[in-house]
Structure 1
């Protein structure tokens, strides 16, 4: 049985707008709406996580939404929360067994997304999770440290180094993270880390 596209649109809109009661009523009336996706594969949980709707995220998880569902680009709710720097939602998702190392179609993880944007609250929560792999490489061979260096996110570089990110992994272009930046402060920091 197909889910009515109008109901799918309605729950997605309500999730985006943070309309807790409306989401609750719709999900209670039809639990299958938890997994209702749009043409790009976005679920209500992904939308709520991306929009920073903490209460709606808690509601959807509490009703049984699949935390690790991925859309057509391979993105998960945790990737969106990390990308938008919604730290509380990052923590909620991780506390409910979200895969912290989930990779999208380009093999980027939530850590890649937070590091490249310099989203320190989300990044801090991710690196403190003992399940988080700091040195996973994306489809270009870049680790989160490569991206933080390239985007000249000094605080992100510092945090990654403090938690053990490798400075010696080469990407597909044959570059280590330090070679991705011309920022003197990042170069000094990375060199001090190697001593």
Structure 2
């Protein structure tokens, strides 16, 4: 970013990484360490944004509040997690930064770590107690974000920390819906192997397989990794048979309580 980012000098110094100059200003006036600018940001926010670990340590050493929020309710931890500054996240967590604070969008730092594939940061947050099932204002969890982005390793991390696989967002989509819609084959298979349902319908009454492309649907319906009923889907996909022609299929679907319309279009 060219030019000043703030209307106060000490915040610009923090963003620019001018450690010695900032130290001089703070020696002259200690209150600058917590003074806010036009965005309600402190020097700590700006140091976290630019990734200046030395300045972060300086400010934390002065005892500045670690969870101050800017005018969009972003904490320094939100900023550092989103930007991918591992060492700064570690420093903030070491000062007991709140890992489940939400910003104006209802997002926690873990939401941003998941969508931007910040794997080490996600683990640090989860180890500190971040909620893997936290929902934002769209009712999306970090797993929704990782699935939509195709961040396979992130999905594995979230599942390791017991993220729920069948939570629906405000559109009724599960993480599996989003993975299928974005043609994420490996991610979809991983989700289903951990219990993601292929039967849940979103608000458009579409299952994950219905929102997927034809070639992806074909891949997902092959092999036993999906679920014990994948043979039913494979029979249908490969032959085009209708439910009324196959009582056994209808019986198996009734056994698990699946709506026929989910797989057999009229």
TM-score (norm 2): 0.69
Give the superposition deviation at 1:156.
1.0
Give the superposition deviation at 1:190.
4.0
- Cα gap change, 1:28/1:111 in structure 2, threshold over 3 Å: closer, same or farther? same
- Cα gap change, 1:121/1:141 in structure 2, threshold over 3 Å: closer, same or farther? same
Q: Which moved more, 1:6-15 or 1:143-152?
A: 6-15
Aligned to 1:23: 56
Provide Cα deviations, 1:56-75, integer angstroms capped at 9, x if missing partner: 00110110100000000001
The answer to whether 1:49 aligns with 2:42 is no
Aligned with residue 164 of structure 1, among 195, 211, 216: 195
Aligned with residue 138 of structure 1, among 165, 169, 173: 169
The answer to whether the Cα contact below 8 Å between 1:154 and 1:186 also exists between their aligned partners in 2 is no
Give the superposition deviation at 1:191.
5.6
Aligned with residue 121 of structure 1, among 144, 148, 153: 153
Aligned to 2:29: none
Q: Distance in 2 between the 1:86 and 1:155 partners?
A: 19
Aligned to 2:220: 189
- Give unpaired runs (5+ residues) of structure 1: none
Higher relative contact order (CA 8 A, sep 6+): 1
- Give unpaired runs (5+ residues) of structure 2: 1-33, 231-266
Question: How large is the RMSD of aligned CA atoms in angstroms?
Answer: 1.7
Give the superposition deviation at 1:114.
0.3
Aligned to 2:4: none
Q: Which moved more, 1:18-27 or 1:67-76?
A: 18-27
Aligned to 2:101: 69
Q: Distance in 2 between the 1:83 and 1:39 partners?
A: 22
Structure-to-structure mapping, 1:5-16, within 5 angstroms: 5-6=36-37, 8-16=41-49
How many residues in Structure 1 have an aligned counterpart in Structure 2? Answer: 192
Q: Distance in 2 between the 1:28 and 1:154 partners?
A: 47
The answer to whether the Cα contact below 8 Å between 1:167 and 1:190 also exists between their aligned partners in 2 is no
TM-score (norm 1): 0.92
Give the superposition deviation at 1:122.
1.1
Aligned to 1:177: 208
1:31 is paired with a residue whose SS is coil
Q: Distance in 2 between the 1:9 and 1:24 partners?
A: 14
Larger radius of gyration: 2
The answer to whether 1:60 aligns with 2:92 is yes
